[in-house]
Structure 1
Amino acid sequence: MSEQSLELNTQTESSHEQQIAIYENELAGLGESDGDLKKKHGLLTKILELQEKEKVAKQESERVWTYEAFVSWARDEVCVSDPEKWLEEKLDLSDLSRPRSKVEVLNLAGKRTVKRIPPNLIGEYLDFDDTGVEEISDGIVCERLSLTDTDVKTIPSDSKCKCLTLAKTKVKEIPSGLICTKLWLVDCDLQKVSGNIQIQWLSVRKNKLSKDLIEQLERLKTEGKIRDLDLL
C-alpha cells in the first residue's frame, strides 16, 4: 500500500473515531422521554454504522480483509441483496489472506459503486471495467485484469496479472520491473516508460504519444523488451 493510501486510511479511521465520540457525548446527555429514546436509537444506529466503517478501513490498511469486510464490500459496493450468498457463489474465502474467485469470469463491469478490489485476490478473468476502482490492490494474481474506463492511475511494478487491460484510464507510466504478457493502454496519456520491462504485447494509441516516446517504444521493441508493439 502506498504511503498516501495508508495516510488516507489513517485519516478516515481518525474521522470515524471523532464522530463516534461526538455521538456518544450526545447520547450521554439524553434522558428517558419518548423523544429522547427515539434520538438514542438514531444515534446508536449511526455509531454502529461508523464502527463498521472503521473496522473495514482498518482491514483495508492491513491489506487482509476479515470475512465481515468481504460482506460489507459485497453489500455496499457490489450492492447485492444477499451478500453472504453472493460471496459463497463467487469467492472461496477459506483462506482470507488469499481469496479465490470460484468463477471463470468475476464480472463486476459497469458497477460504479465498486471502489475496491479485494487485496490478494486470485482468479482467471477479473472484469472491473467501468467501475469506481482507482487502485490496483496489492497481491492480485490472475490471467487477466480488466479496468477499462476507470480512474486507475498506476500499475504496480510487481503485478502478477498476465494480461492488463487499462484502456481509457489515467495511467501515465509503465514502471520499472513490470513483466506481463499483454498490456492494453489505448487512449491513455502515456508519458514515461521504463527501460527495465518485459512485455510480450503492448497496445497504445499513437496520437496520444510524443514523438520521443514512440521512438523509445520502438527501441525497446528492437531490444526485445517489448516483443510486439501495436501502435494504433
Structure 2
Amino acid sequence: YAQIQVRDMGRGIHPDFLPFVFDSFRQADSQTTRVSGGLGLGLAIVHHLVELHGGTVTAASPGEGQGATFTVTLPLMTTAPQTSQDNPLLDNSPNLEGVKLLVVDDEVDTRELIVFILEECGAQVRAVASAAEALEALAQMKPDLLLSDIGMPEMDGYMLIRQIRAKSAEQGGEIPAIALTAYAGETDNQQILKAGFQRRLTKPIEPDELAVAIASLMSSISS
C-alpha cells in the first residue's frame, strides 16, 4: 500500500463530529448564517473515490483549533496499468459520443466532477457557474441537454428553467433538462417536474446513474 497524509494547522475537528466527517451533507457548522459555503459533500466524494480505488481514508484531529490530518491508503499496482479501453467507467456507462451538454452548478467541486464523468463517456461538455451564464451559453452553443443545479444564488434552477421554457424552440426553449438537487422528497420532485425539468438526480451524483439518465432522456426525446 501507498500512504498519503495531508496535514493542516487550521480550525481542526471537534471530537464529537469526527466520526461523521465523511458523511454526505454533514457539516460541523450547520447554521444558516454560517460563513463557510458548500453542501458538505467534499469529504464524502473523497471517501467515495478512494474506496473505488480499493483504498481507505481516515481523519484525525487533536481538537478544535489544533488542525487535522487526513490519511489516504491506496493499494500498489502489481500489474501493468490498463489502457483507457479497459476503463470501467467507459465499459459500464452509455456512450455519449457527440452529445453536447450544458452543465450549470455554482459548486466548483461538483461541477468539475460532473464534467470529468461526462467527458469520460465521450460527451462534449460546457460548464458554467451561474444561471445567467447558462442562458448566455444556451444561445451560443445550442446544447442537446441541460444539467442544472437547483440551489444557486441570485437565480436558482427553477427560475432558470422557467426562463428557458418561455423561449421558442429555435432559442432552446424545448431543450431536455435534468435537475441536480440535494433534496430527495416527493414534493421536491413534483415541483422540479412542474417547473419544466424532465428528470431529477440526487446529489452526490453516481457516475453510471448520471450517464444512464442522460442517455435514457435523449433516447426518449428522439423516439
TM-score, normalised relative to structure 2: 0.28
**Pair member with larger Rg:** 1
- Please give the TM-score of this superposition, normalised by the length of structure 1: 0.27
